[in-house]
Structure 1
């Protein structure tokens, strides 16, 4: 089973690479499987590859839900 969260593209790099941010953690990933990615787009990342672009509103909702779950777990 895999859990993939939307990650925001913060920088486009050479050779179909990009830097993404997920909650303050940045990582270089490959964009070779996805076309037309721009800074500010959200992508689903698995094992270092962007698999698909995600609608920004849906990405924000998903990230908000995970933040809420994390806050509930911390308060328990």
Structure 2
């Protein structure tokens, strides 16, 4: 099973990466698997953008992670 974290693309870089904002944490992720644009909500796993998602889907995933964190 893979767990992917949602974030928002803030910048497209020249080296086939994008800067992704994860709640204030900026990380570079590979863009080779998905065609992305600034402002897209994306899922990132192991440093690779694996899927674009709607804003509502991203928020739902983050809510689920928050619920899981509260259980531990």
* TM norm. shorter chain > 0.5: yes
Partner of 2:21: 21
SS of the residue 2:58 aligns to? helix
SS of the residue 1:28 aligns to? strand
Partner of 1:60: 59
Greater gyration radius: 1
Alpha-carbon separation, structure 1, partners of 2:60 and 2:45: 20
Moved over 4 A (4+): none
The two structures, once aligned, show a CA RMSD in angstroms of 1.7
Partner of 2:46: 47
TM-score (norm 2): 0.80
Partner of 1:6: 6
Aligned residues: 72
In structure 1, list runs of 5 or more residues that go unmatched: none
